[in-house]
Amino acid sequence: MKSDSIADIESRVKSRPLPRHVGIIMDGNGRWAEAKGLPRIEGHREGSTSVQEVTRSARRVGLEALTLYAFSSQNWARPADEVAGLMDLLREYLLKEREEILDNGIRLSAIGELDKLPRYVREPLDALRAESEKNRAMTLTLALSYGGREELVAMARRVAEKAAKGELEPAAVSEALVDATLWTAGLPPLDLVIRTSGERRLSNFLLWQSAYAELYFTELLWPDFRAKELCDCLTQFQNRERRFGQTSAQVQALPIRRAVS
Ligand code: IPE
Ligand code: IPE
Ligand code: MG
């Protein structure tokens, strides 16, 4: 039997309700390289091909937002040569993907402690963010020097500053205000978090935002995760029932079986 083409698979995924916002913890690059007797950086290089393929597929199926965990606040503690290699790859990625991002109407965004990034990464990143600002087809957010706790601390600090200046009443602090003060302000609610490489943890990724996200763990290492694998996750998501605290019967009775957020 002839196996389905990626176009067939994507069109099946497209025909059913999609998650609005998918986050991916792209893990396992180092192990992928080590298993082949290669330096870890070769795993990161192959991982950037997965980033391109997964982004293209996400755009084709019509996701509104894709957030990729590329470098955590904690990853600065890795050996200096690995950190430097990752920063080089990041710069390369931003320069190489610029045209495709712009041609496809993608808005490139970034969250994290961006002022910690070296200037040679920050410059192409800021340029592409500015150039793609008005694009609306999909928001691709890179989580760089990102940590969920760091983000919550920054949010709390901003709220406290406003309160101290008398611009905000404590009673006005709400979920909506927290959402609007986080680095992810303006992005749709996070519906699905994918983590590759068999680890079952969030490693400080989108802690507030993942409160009601569906979690999908796969044993595949990130360099082996491509368009087809993304579609497998989306299909699994489409077969899950999201209850948001209600009973299954209540959810079934809803006119459209969608998030009640
Ligand atoms: C993920 O792959 C990429 C980053 C964290 C930057 P890893 O480098 O963590 O790969 P493993 O987990 O060591 O295999
Ligand atoms: C999480 O992976 C961070 C990224 C994928 C960027 P890690 O490999 O750093 O996570 P831990 O250390 O195993 O939790
Ligand atoms: Mg890892």
Looking at ligand 1, which residue's alpha carbon is closest to its atom 3?
A: 27
Task: With a cut of 70, say whether residue 259 has pLDDT above it.
Answer: no
Q: Is 250 part of a structural domain of the chain?
A: yes
Q: Is 169 part of a structural domain of the chain?
A: no
- Give the number of the ligand closest to the Cα of residue 203: 2
State the DSSP code for 240. Answer: S
Strands (E), the chain: 21-25, 65-72, 106-111, 138-146, 192-195, 214-217
Per-residue pLDDT, averaged over 251-255, amounts to 91
Per-residue pLDDT, averaged over 241-249, amounts to 97
Q: Where are the alpha helices (DSSP H) in the chain?
A: 6-14, 29-35, 40-61, 80-103, 119-131, 148-164, 175-181, 227-238, 248-253
pLDDT in tens, 140-196: 999 999 999 999 999 999 999 999 999 999 999 999 999 999 999 999 999 999 999
What is the percentage of the chain residues whose pLDDT exceeds 70?
Answer: 97
Mean pLDDT, the chain, rounded, equals 97
Mutating to test ligand 1, I would choose from 26, 27, 219 the residue with most ligand atoms within 8 A of its C-beta, which is 27
Q: Which two tokens stand for residue 68?
A: 């990729």
**Domain extent for 124:** 6-154+189-260
pLDDT in tens, 193-224: 999 999 999 999 999 999 999 999 999 999 99
Q: Is 212 part of a structural domain of the chain?
A: yes
Structural domain tally of the chain?
Answer: 1
117 three-class SS: coil
Q: Is 170 part of a structural domain of the chain?
A: no
Q: Is 1 part of a structural domain of the chain?
A: no
pTM over 0.85? The answer is yes
CA of 27 to the centre of ligand 2 (A): 6
Per-residue pLDDT, averaged over 223-251, amounts to 98
Q: Is 252 part of a structural domain of the chain?
A: yes
Q: CATH number of the domain that 232 lies in?
A: 3.40.1180.10
